[in-house]
Structure 1
């Protein structure tokens, strides 16, 4: 994880240099803003990865003499299939159409989003995935 953190940190430095040069050279605010936001996102991810790498065990990717088999084993818990994110995404997509068709459209889309969010948050408290 440390290698990925340093990659994102160097990407952030590069994005900052590109944003400054582009902003001074082009005087175009939209592209300059996008490049500065890319710098901020890269810096945030790099900081998180470097900070987290200090608190977790060294992975096989951080060891130069590691084999592929050294990273084998259980990787963690992954949620089973769920229809709730699809419902939440559909509700959000319809909600973004609210300004197009009229703000009254949000009356129908906000409940769809809340139902999708409710189902996603509480999916382990009911049904076949209920934890004991």
Structure 2
């Protein structure tokens, strides 16, 4: 993960330089705020990856003497298809639409259905075809 930390570190440095330059050139508050938040987000990811890279053993791709065969084996669990993100997104759309219309009853219905959809997404692998 050291390579990823370096990539995000370079991205953070880029945004640190670009954010004030954008402000001095344009004077635009909106774009400057977005660039500053992007800088902070990149810095957060850099710190996370750097912290964990220091605590874990180097992966085969992090070692200079690493071979392709060193990385063979199981890479982890990759979930199959799921319909639950669609329903979670749809209920979020209903909630936002209810707020935009000022129809709080629609927001409450969307929130209730959203709780069911989120619960289905969380407990998806505890029942049914893909149960563990």
Partner of 1:125 in structure 2?
Answer: 126
Contiguous gaps of at least 5 residues in structure 1: none
Partner of 2:99 in structure 1?
Answer: 99
DSSP 3-state at the match of 2:126: coil
Partner of 2:117 in structure 1?
Answer: 116
Partner of 2:47 in structure 1?
Answer: 47
Q: CA deviation at 1:129?
A: 3.0
RMSD (Å), alpha carbons? 1.7
1:63 and 2:63 equivalent?
Answer: yes
Structure 1 runs (4+) deviating above 4 angstroms are: none
Q: Distance in 1 between matches of 2:69 and 2:83?
A: 35
Q: Distance in 1 between matches of 2:54 and 2:126?
A: 34
Given the two structures, how large is their TM-score scaled by the length of structure 2?
Answer: 0.87
State which drifts further: 43-52 or 57-66: 57-66
Q: CA deviation at 1:125?
A: 2.6
Partner of 1:29 in structure 2?
Answer: 29
Q: Distance in 1 between matches of 2:59 and 2:111?
A: 43
Given the two structures, how large is their TM-score scaled by the length of structure 1?
Answer: 0.87
Q: Distance in 2 between matches of 1:125 and 1:79?
A: 13
